[in-house]
Structure 1
């Protein structure tokens, strides 16, 4: 084994620190060169949180400062010949979260002051937009070189209030005022690069700056952030092998497990498979598979928006849409898809480009399980430790093929937790089971069509396919009769797995399972 002391840049977003500290760096510098020599000097890139946007911005910063030594051995070293040093104004807006209008203005003033110490300030420049314009012009005049403006996480001040009708316009106006000089300063600018999680309309945030090129969905830049399957197999082959040895499996089995948990992102079509870099690197560093991206923060605005649009858990993903449905400014959104797509909870899984149709779905197991954990309080009011314990034991029973024991456990658990609202209709229990079974990492679908009707739920493990029919205040026998009468199992006769029919009857009074029946299908 080589590189036994490999250092992983967990949480490190500064390019110079990574290169000088000999941390693992996945070479993205070809993209840096291509973007800085493209037809547009105003660029915008949207990617989910912790996906490498800040590192990419820092890479641009070092490149435009002419720090050739940091790029030794990277692709860009063979492409760039001049290494011209430019003045760089780099604004990281992630420090302006959870702020009101006054706090946001104060934060912007602090950021400007840091550069005014270098390039000076004119007394007449009172407001942040005036001060930014003055900085750009003075930096150009003093250095004789055009200025680079980098704005990382431009939308950070806005995300937590995206669902608020009062605060969003106020903070948006502050940001629009700050960015307003960029177009007027065009003669003095070499390059302007903005990153964010979400897409706000140019008119609402960037005022007259209507010449920004959005590269977020361009196939040429699909892998600009994140780690591709090819990069994992080549640049990180020793890391995969080391983790496989630690977990007692083969390298190919390790790749499959990493793919299941962290892969599945596509930001255009066609696109290489892209892994979540934060989770992947943390798994390598800690030596185990975990839900690192979701555990690093579940944004409340995601849950708020799902409630606003009354989205059922089973409705998330598995839907065809056009870019005008999901790759649109949030102010123009009429459904939940734009926010979930831009924030990384949905991704592109396929496309029919002839008809401008894209299939959106949840990227991977980590995101699905994490999202369901965030939604479970709407169905089961219990502390997370108890829920996790029940989920683990449910998973053990179902994977072992003991559905009867799993339902006994679920019946006891549901009878001991506080009641939730709106439990007097069958759909509540369907969605509750969908959330719980999704937490197990088991393939789960609802309202699955057959020739004679719809199956309430379909579960698939590696060894068994379960057809689940639910009733409320009736009987398990009635549910089983419906499965048999409608001949639901015939559709799945050729699935290659044993089919088990599960009939469950809930009681609205006790808010738990009243009775159930289980029958294994046999085919002649």
Structure 2
């Protein structure tokens, strides 16, 4: 039986090491960082180990050699010099007013001024920060290490509030700008966050940062690779498989399906979500651990404010400029990608285009379920029970009950959506299709506003066509004329062709008609 203690929620390296928590050694990559560069930026989704990385760097620059016993760093580093460290953690505050950011900066500056002194002429936040760096360097005889965790949290929490976001940018831009002006006093700097900096961000003048977010050499700096799982958790994999009554191969496949799939650059290995993976090993249970810790509502607000077609999100193509842009005021995709809900699935080298998609089942299922209350009348408590009923009706061949329930999903469509009703219908259908797809075989193809939906169970196949302000008869005619059902006619399962009409007037499903196809090879 494994005696590993999994560091769920442990973000302090010293605490982790002194209390003998399980740690996957990242220190060779950390050594590579500090010996080959000075100013870094790293973007990763939440709960991906950014804070632990910052804490590990802090322990290293404090010269705490004893914490690295048995790790790669112990053999690599020979000098172990202690440097003055300024660690700013912006993850601990709720940023809903300009004062909230000012307060946390003020608290950090006051703490550092207690150590290194203050100058009354330094009145602004940036001047005080610069003065602290200069005095720390002079007093200790060593250049300063600056570590900023979650640099972007104030701006992320202010999405949708341009005035507040502008206040935060105006406050942080000169503050971070100090890193460039005091190059001679700085040994090393790392800023981490979820979103990446762009031309309009607080970093517009800070062009000396090396963004390693999409660098293949650093894909394993946060998160867990398949290699690391097998090197560190091989015995535990067998125990996990036994607890789940699965074969070793089936358990590995299940972990991969649910937690792997993050690609932070093209042609790179997949990375597992460390938070979900370690929880799964601790409890020997596959569950949506990462999603249960909370999904920011600003993501859905971005999608709705931009009237985004959710179908596009599942297989969007874009370029590096978009992936590296910030906030998504016009396009929500950059911030959704940077937040970890989409990842790189493919790359066209000739045109420099990235194909995005959901990284794994945990993210896909969790995100789609999270969308339900924002696009339908159902709340998050009701939705799972409704989906269960949908699936049972499909498995039983009860078409009328299925469509009566589907009609309820469109009830009470908000008035403000009337002007974009077709997109609203398509988005709701996309959500239903994706949710059902976790339990039945589902296919969906769209073209020029047309929606085809094919659902398959062990006994039934449903071929559906939807019309907006047409007729159910026209939808059925299109199924027959275009031969949508032909690929399934010799399948052996009962085949249903279903034509459906949405009414703009009632803002709901008006009528559906069903043709039951005779079985060629009865089951």
Question: What TM-score do you get using the length of structure 1 for normalisation?
Answer: 0.89
Q: Deviations over 1:415-437 (max 9, x none)?
A: 48851134795654443232023
Q: Which residue of 2 aligns with 1:405?
A: 398
Query: Cα 1:339–1:129, aligned 2, differ >3 Å: closer, same or farther?
Result: same
Are 1:148 and 1:191, in contact at CA under 8 Å, matched by a contact in 2? yes
Deviation by residue 1:452-475 (Cα, 9 ceiling, x = unmatched): x96622446789875332245766
Partner of 1:503: 498
**1:474–1:505 CA contact under 8 A, matched in 2:** no
| Contact 2:485–2:497 (8 Å) recurs in 1 | no
Structural mapping, 1:118-517, within 5 Å: 118-201=115-198, 204-206=201-203, 208-330=205-327, 334-396=330-392, 398=394, 401-402=395-396, 404-405=397-398, 408-409=401-402, 411-412=404-405, 414-415=407-408, 418-421=411-414, 422=417, 428-442=424-438, 444-448=442-446, 456-459=452-455, 466-471=462-467, 478-490=474-486, 500-506=495-501, 508=503, 509=506, 511-512=508-509, 514-517=511-514
User: Please, which moves more after superposition, 132-141 or 369-378?
Assistant: 369-378
Deviations 1:381-428 (A, max 9, x none): 123222111112334555xx43x2376145246448851134795654
The correspondence of residues 41-120 of structure 1 with structure 2, limited to 5 A, is: 41-120=38-117
User: Counterpart of 2:24?
Assistant: 26
Q: 1:407 to 1:178 in 2, by over 3 A?
A: farther
Q: Is the contact made by 2:450 and 2:467 (CA closer than 8 Å) also made in structure 1?
A: no
* Equivalent-residue separation in structure 2 for 1:56 and 1:462 (angstroms): 48
| Separation (CA, whole Å) in 1 of partners of 2:350 and 2:507 | 52
Distance 2:349 2:462 in 1: 35
User: Which SS does the other structure have where 2:235 is aligned?
Assistant: helix
Unaligned runs of 5+ in 1: none
Whether contact under 8 Å (1:153, 1:195) holds in the other structure is yes
Moved more, 22-31 or 281-290: 281-290
Q: TM-score, normalised by structure 2?
A: 0.89
Question: Aligned in 2, Cα 1:239/1:504: closer, same or farther, shift over 3 Å?
Answer: farther
Task: Tell me by how many angstroms 1:117 deviates.
Answer: 2.3
CA distance in 2, matches of 1:407, 1:157: 49
CA offset digits 1:348-371 (Å, max 9, x no partner):
011122321211111112212222
Aligned residue pair count = 514
Given that 2:377 and 2:409 are in contact with CA atoms closer than 8 Å, whether structure 1 keeps it comes out as no
Q: Give 3-state SS (helix, strand or coil) of 1:285's partner.
A: helix
Could you say what secondary structure the match of 1:488 adopts? coil
TM-superposed CA distance for 1:493, in Å, is 9.0
- Per the alignment, do residues 84 and 461 of structure 1 end up closer, same or farther by CA in structure 2, a change over 3 Å counting? farther
Measured after TM superposition, the shift of residue 320 of structure 1 is 2.0
Instruction: Describe the shift of the 1:219–1:459 C-alpha distance in structure 2 as closer, same or farther (beyond 3 A).
Output: farther
Is the CA contact (8 Å cut-off) linking 1:434 and 1:445 kept in structure 2? no
Give the Cα separation in 2 of the matches to 1:253 and 1:520.
37
Indicate the larger mover: 404-413 or 55-64.
404-413
Q: Which whole-Å CA distance do the structure 2 matches of 1:259 and 1:407 have between them?
A: 38
User: Which string of whole-angstrom CA distances, capped at 9 and with x for unpartnered residues, describes residues 23-56 of structure 1?
Assistant: 1212111110111111x31110111111111111
Q: RMSD between aligned alpha carbons?
A: 3.0
Deviation at 1:504, TM superposition (A): 4.4
Whole-Å Cα distance in 2 between the matches of residues 199 and 475 of structure 1? 47
